Amino acid sequence: MESQVLSIRGMTCAACAQRIERSVKKLEGIETATVNLASEKLFVEYDGGTLPLATIKETVVKIGYEVVEQSNNSTVTIPIGGMTCAACAQRVEKAIRKMEGIEIVSVNLATEKATVTYHPQKVRVSAIKETIEKAGYQALDISKTNAADEDRARKQQEIRTLWTKFIVSAVFSLPLLYIAMVPMITWVRLPFPGGLDPMNYPLIYALVELLLVIPVIIVGHKFYTIGFKALIQRSPNMDSLIAIGTTSAVIYSTYNVWQIAQGVFGAVESLYFETAGVIITLILLGKSLEAVSKGRTSEAIKKLMGLTPKTALVIEEGVEKEIPIDEVEIGDIIVVKPGAKIPVDGTVIQGNTAIDESMLTGESMPVDKKVDDPVYAATLNTNGVIQFKATKIGSDTALARIIKLVEDAQGSKAPIAKLADIVAGYFVPIVCVIAVIAGIAWYIGTGNTEFALTIFISVLVIACPCALGLATPTAIMVGTGKGAENGILIKGGEALETAHKINTIVFDKTGTITEGKPKVTDVITIDGRADDYLLSITASAEKGSEHPLGQAIVVGAQEKGIELLPVEGFEAITGRGINAVIKGMQILAGNRKLMDERGISLEKLEAASDKLAAEGKTPMYVAINDELAGIIAVADVVKPSSKAAIERLHTMGIKVAMITGDNKKTAAAIASQVGIDRVLSEVLPQDKSNEVKKLQAEGRKVAMVGDGINDAPALAQADIGIAIGSGTDVAMESADIVLMRSDLMDVPTAINLSKRTIRNIKQNLFWAFGYNTVGIPIAAGVLHLFGGPLLNPIFAAAAMSLSSVSVLSNALRLKRFKATK
């Protein structure tokens, strides 16, 4: 199954998004298809073996939209010296085109530049420059653009175009409105040209109105081309409503101009050109404000994209050389000086420094780095000079993975949006039917064509499918973006919605509530054995273990300078301990379960074991040749933020449980330190998911917080899996929410963000449904039936424009969200 993100251009409302989704889902081989109106993207999963991507793109184009595939290609403009004629340009073009990974190449002799679109993974810019040099020309300094920059420039251009159209439209529609309205205002005398007096010069008056409305219609031509095309294809959208309404007004008014020309001067009172002109102007104003607001909803991801430096300082043959970031390859040695950003992910091979990783993790304190420590793209080197070896580049860096995760989340849909999607699919046809019925009913009831036309236009213009379509995606985009800014990566709308319902959170103990760096605290022996002897035997046996407690014993022995003995045999016993052979002796090290299963009596050390457990220490029993030899106690320090985070969760009404493989007494000691409500102790790793299932069987909505690797089954079983880690090595695939820092305060922050976002979505949906539920009947003249006012189409257009802007503005309030302290 393949996945692809396509940029869609030409969508104007929720009906457009629904139409694309329906058309694409009909194709054989489509698994899922989701359109995000706010980000103008189609997220599609499909069987590439049976369905070519080209077919999906053709389907979208056929129904009237433009599709642009999201590409990892880069475009570079290389100035070339030494070209003298067209043959030179052709020679350079041919030479570059022969290279693998070249998509498009164009050499302009007049500007002396080559514009090349290429695959950074297949070809480096340095190789393109070498090819130009080999062809006998000079490759000079270059300038580069990427897909993100191009998208940003396109959206800025789109905003500028909309504002220009609005200004042009306003320049003509305001005089048109003035000319149309002033003759009707009798209670105050306003300046008005005598040559346009409708009583004395009706034809001139009508023709001036017609001439003023034509530029407005030209500026708003897209409403007609898109709207009528959608209507013909039996899938009307918002543009169709505007097109039908304004066209009706213009045609009826143009007919009355002809009537005036025939001498029927009374028709001068039946001109509605200003209605069409002002409606288009107000809609353009709304669209301009909407485009600006939509741009702001995706600011978080733009910030992430802008973090990576454009160049890297690479050591080649002992010389420092600055090259474009796309030319960096795995294995390159990169120098980073104080104040510079790390260009790609890698491992330090020389030097010491402190690196500010706040842009990735939200952690304000710089992190000390030494040889063999990892460094990550876009983080800031604060003081020392370091050299590091590039290990991950391009789309494999931690930052690129975060950007991809956030983009996917922003393209997802929350279950709460399903009703809005269903309504949006039928909304426009229903509005058209209501408009026609209302218009006919009022014509039959009054016999007044102008009155019926006003009702017809008002109903069409006031309906706003945009507000329905933008209610959910804009809030999700801002919410997930705000989460990313705070080091909280929420994987999608469903996770966001489920998180706000959580009433029980289960924390794994080791590495989550505690630091995950246990230390040896006590060594207790029997039968006169020396402490160091027991530590030496146990550490030697544990050297092959990957368990944190085993590793702690190895480190404890090394810190004391104790020599480790060769191991003749080793077996890890999951959830219990280890079995090893050293100098012919059978060594067992592990928990009470292991000793009980092997029939080893713990009676001699029972009191000591209980005392250690009561202090929150984990007793590791050691047996030599099936005889108890002693206990090595290991303790893990509780994280400073654990108690505060659990207290905050309690204030939010959430029950907190802790799951651990430790014995009951040790677990209870840790739990009492931080205020845990429920302790699930002596749980084997493979049984953690069953414990989560038991809690769910009690009717609880459960979140599981773990390291994302060892706890993968439990994370998958929980309603919400939250992986907590260093922000880079966490297993992003195993959880619904990834916390970049190891700070437990991010757990209540994530729950709060979810609650705020879902509340925002509900407010948006309430406004969108409420606006249309109230607005359409008023436009249809329901109030007028009972002696109330009649809604003018101009005010209907203003209300429609403001409805989608208000939804976007409400979503943008989420940008003020503050992390839990």
Q: What gap in Å lies between CA 225 and CA 543, rounded to an integer?
A: 73
Count of H-run helices and E-run strands, the chain: 27, 31
Alpha-carbon dihedral 447, 453, 456, 461, rounded to 10 degrees: -160
Q: Is 144 left (phi over 0), alpha (psi -120 to 50) or beta?
A: beta
Contacts (Cβ under 8 Å, ≥6 apart) of 534: 523, 525, 622, 629, 630, 632
Whether 751 and 654 have beta carbons less than 8 Å apart is answered as yes
Amino acid at site 312: A
Which of 154, 161, 214, 204 has the alpha carbon at shortest distance from 179?
204
HSE toward the beta carbon, residue 444, CA cutoff 13 A: 6
What size, in residues, is the chain? Answer: 821
Query: Cβ of 771: how many Cβ atoms within 10 Å?
Result: 22
Is residue 116 classed exposed, middle or buried when 0-12, 13-18 and 19+ CB atoms within 10 A define those classes?
buried
Q: What gap in Å lies between CA 579 and CA 594, rounded to an integer?
A: 10
CA distances (Å), origin 5, targets 12, 146, 631: 19, 16, 57
Whether 424 and 17 have beta carbons less than 8 Å apart is answered as yes
Going through 625-664 in order, the beta strands assigned E by DSSP cover 627-635, 655-659
Q: What gap in Å lies between CA 389 and CA 387, rounded to an integer?
A: 7
Structure tokens belonging to residue 462: 């006031």
Could you confirm whether 596 is annotated as catalytic? no
Rg from Cα positions in the chain: 35
Whether 669 and 637 have beta carbons less than 8 Å apart is answered as no
Q: What gap in Å lies between CA 595 and CA 603, rounded to an integer?
A: 11
How many angstroms from the chain centroid is the CA of residue 535? 50
Phi, psi (degrees; rounded to nearest 5) at 398: -60, -40
Q: What gap in Å lies between CA 150 and CA 232, rounded to an integer?
A: 34
Phi, psi (degrees; rounded to nearest 5) at 735: -130, 160
Q: What gap in Å lies between CA 455 and CA 167, rounded to an integer?
A: 28
Alpha-carbon dihedral 41, 46, 51, 57, rounded to 10 degrees: 0
Q: What gap in Å lies between CA 222 and CA 237, rounded to an integer?
A: 13
Using the Cα atoms of residue 647, residue 649, residue 655 and residue 659 in order, give the sign of their dihedral. Answer: negative
SS3 assignment, position 513: helix
Which of 175, 146, 154, 128 has the alpha carbon at shortest distance from 40?
154
Among residues 239, 345, 421, 508, the one annotated as catalytic is 508
Angle CA(405)–CA(407)–CA(413) in degrees, nearest 5? 100
Going through 564-690 in order, the beta strands assigned E by DSSP cover 569-573, 577-582, 585-590, 618-624, 627-635, 655-659, 678-680
Which of 117, 154, 160 has the alpha carbon at shortest distance from 39?
154
CA distances (Å), origin 407, targets 148, 402, 514: 12, 9, 32
Q: What gap in Å lies between CA 104 and CA 89, rounded to an integer?
A: 15
- Helix (H) / strand (E) element for 748: namely helix 746-779
Structure tokens belonging to residue 739: 């916390």
**Active site amino acids:** 508
